[in-house]
């Protein structure tokens, strides 16, 4: 269940910084621990940069969410880029095509509680991550 959300374009390095700031603001509002704030901001930064560099830009939606037990933050990264040809390889620890923080998709996945990716060659990529309050 989503309480409130904001959509942000990702068309430049400045937009990646804005995504980081928006994620930090919501993470604080949700009352994530400082460690979990750092994890979600780091994952969001990596994925926003991937949206820009590999997806050719796109959009990010940052939302404060609740389930029956707790609050959290959900972030959706969407682009209309080339998609990921070999998703299994892209999710392999240590795999990188260069340019990011070096975390890659597998590193970002380890930093969050939920990670979902929908991609198809030629049709873009959508990644949804969630971090819940402990």
Domain that holds residue 122: 5-132
User: What pLDDT digit, counting tens, does each position of 45-88 carry?
Assistant: 999 999 999 999 999 999 999 998 999 999 999 999 999 888 87
Provide the pLDDT for residue 89.
78
Percent of all residues in the chain with a pLDDT value above 70, rounded to a whole number: 91
Q: What percent of the chain has pLDDT over 90?
A: 76
Distance of CA 64 to the CA centre of its chain: 14
Q: What is the CATH number of the domain that holds 122?
A: 3.30.565.10
- The structure's pTM equals 0.91
Mean pLDDT over each residue of the chain, to the nearest integer: 91
Domain count, the chain: 1
Instruction: Provide the pLDDT for residue 91.
Output: 80
Residues 25-43 have a mean pLDDT of: 97
Question: What is the DSSP annotation of 76-121?
Answer: EEEE-S---S-HHHHTSTT---SSS-S-HHHHHHHTSSEEEEEEET
Q: Regarding predicted confidence, which is higher, 107 or 63? A: 63
Cα 55 to the center of its chain, rounded Å: 13
Report the pLDDT value the prediction gives residue 96, as an integer from 0 to 100: 66
């Amino acid at each position: 269940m989503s309480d409130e959300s904001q959509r942000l374009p990702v068309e430049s390095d400045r937009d990646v910084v804005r995504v980081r700031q928006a994620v930090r603001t919501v993470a604080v509002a949700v009352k994530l621990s400082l460690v979990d704030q750092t994890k979600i901001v780091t994952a969001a930064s990596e994925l926003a940069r991937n949206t820009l560099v590999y997806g050719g830009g796109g959009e990010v939606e940052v939302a404060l969410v609740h389930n029956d037990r707790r609050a959290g933050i959900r972030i959706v990264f969407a682009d209309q880029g080339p998609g990921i040809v070999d998703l299994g390889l892209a999710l392999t620890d240590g795999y990188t095509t260069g340019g990011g923080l070096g975390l890659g998709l597998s590193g970002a996945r380890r930093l969050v509680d939920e990670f979902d990716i929908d991609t198809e060659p030629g049709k873009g990529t959508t990644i949804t991550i969630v971090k819940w309050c402990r």
